[in-house]
Structure 1
Amino acid sequence: MKEEQAYKNIKNMIVQGRFTMQESISINELAAQMNMSRTPVHKALAQLEREGYITITPQVGVFVRRPDQKEIFDRLQLCVAIDVFLAEQAARSVSEFQLEELKEVLERMENPSLAADKYEALNVQFHTVICKAANNDFAFRSNKINWDYLNYVNISEELFQGGNREQSQAEHRMIYYALKDRDTKLTELLVRKHLMRVAQFITEKYKQVNV
């Protein structure tokens, strides 16, 4: 669908920093660039506004936005709650194939020479496997929208370096063994503790960057 393609294209432009916050995004230019009518572009922009990437002000323009600290905190709380729920469900239904996939991801994450961005990608893969193992596509898709946005606004390199990375590795390893043992309570506890640490780090970092 053209609307979906327009959404993906414009979102990528925003994430890649193609627009400044002061720059009005031209709907006509976007439509021409993607060789489509204004209608799918309008629909794509409406979705991006719902997800928090832009602000649409009638008679003024379309602008990239930055959320305030409370919005970041609220999104993080929601993400943690859904991920904890999915992890608890995953402990009941995770397959041997998925456990093997988690083990392989962990081994790659423990490479000391791994760059921060590569580690971050593996971190996302690890949690994605867990969420998919829960067999709840609606919750997974809903939370992915929030995590994608938080990754966009967050400066996260420090979260995956030095002592922070070592702690992350230890926490992921414990989560893996809890899942392997099908221990729902321990999995829930470990994932909650892990994600709350991440949420606190992101909240404080975002506060420092946006003072």
Structure 2
Amino acid sequence: MEQLRPIPNKTNQLADQVYERIKKDIFDFVFLPGDRFTETEMATRHTVSRTPVRDALYRLEREGYLQVSFRSGWSVRPFDFKRFDQLYDLRIVLELAAVKQLCEAESAPDIGPLLDVWAIPEGERLTDGNQVWALDEAFHHQLILATGNLEMARVHQEVTEKIRIIRRLDFTQASRVDITYDEHREILRLIAQRKAAQAAIAIRSHIEASKAEVHKITLHMLHEAKQRVQAGAA
């Protein structure tokens, strides 16, 4: 008997497309924290019906990027730097635990694939910030996965998704890209040598420096975006 193939749901496909576009606009500060809009306005903007727009907006609300009020419609959630700091602190706790486990494990962890990416000559390094950002996320998540603790990996992935909106900004500057390569290579070297204390110091410093940098860049980009809006309204 011929197996039936699932029929693609056009509404779901449109919702996915609208979701990606709106999320990109939030990440690129096209929509600023506090900006308000209705489902009808967003449907017009993306030339689709309100159904896929509504699905996309509720998905973004669940992820913490939007908030909804039945009286005033939708709005971009204000940046809560205290919440971001707490998420970064949780990330540090998880990655410190992972580094300790990897350094103290009976058998040496297989970090060869990570070394192939990060321990390379400067002339072979990637320079595109978006590519390095994706590799950086993978680096940190793979350290967690290497412990074999899937629950730790699940929580770490949730934290990563919640801070992605600001974390990616760390790779908008060439100097930060180079620093990421250097620091990742050093962290891997210390793990390979089973130097747990030094590896813990290195990864904590690495994450805290990134947190401070994205905080500064985010404030700067918000300021520039607001100035553009004010200039356009003048």
* TM-score, length-scaled by structure 2: 0.68
Larger Rg: 2
Give the deviation of 1:148 after TM superposition.
2.3
- Tell me what 2:229 maps to: none
SS in 1 for 2:68: strand
Note the alpha carbon deviations across 1:114-146, whole angstroms, 9 max, x for none: 322222222222212111112222222222223
* 2:27 corresponds to 1:14: no
1:176 maps to amino acid: L
1:44-123 pair list within 5 angstroms: 45=58, 48-93=60-105, 98-107=110-119, 110=122, 111-112=124-125, 114-123=127-136
Which of 99-108 and 5-14 deviates more?
5-14
Cα 1:6–1:135 shift into 2, 3 Å: farther
Give the deviation of 1:198 after TM superposition.
0.7
Number of residue pairs matched by the alignment: 199
Whether the aligned pair in 1 keeps the contact of 2:102 and 2:109 (CA below 8 Å) is no
- Tell me what 1:168 maps to: 180
The separation in 1 between residues aligned to 2:201 and 2:93, in whole angstroms, is: 12
- Tell me what 2:161 maps to: 148
Give the deviation of 1:67 after TM superposition.
1.5
* TM-score, length-scaled by structure 1: 0.74
1:145 maps to amino acid: E
- Tell me what 2:190 maps to: 178
SS in 1 for 2:67: strand
* 2:39 corresponds to 1:31: no
Give the deviation of 1:176 after TM superposition.
0.6
The separation in 1 between residues aligned to 2:105 and 2:39, in whole angstroms, is: 45
Give the deviation of 1:5 after TM superposition.
8.7
Which of 67-76 and 121-130 deviates more?
67-76
5+ long unaligned stretches in structure 2: 1-8, 44-48, 224-234
Give the deviation of 1:197 after TM superposition.
0.8
Whether the aligned pair in 1 keeps the contact of 2:170 and 2:210 (CA below 8 Å) is no
Whether the aligned pair in 2 keeps the contact of 1:91 and 1:184 (CA below 8 Å) is yes
SS in 2 for 1:130: helix
Whether the aligned pair in 2 keeps the contact of 1:92 and 1:184 (CA below 8 Å) is yes
5+ long unaligned stretches in structure 1: none
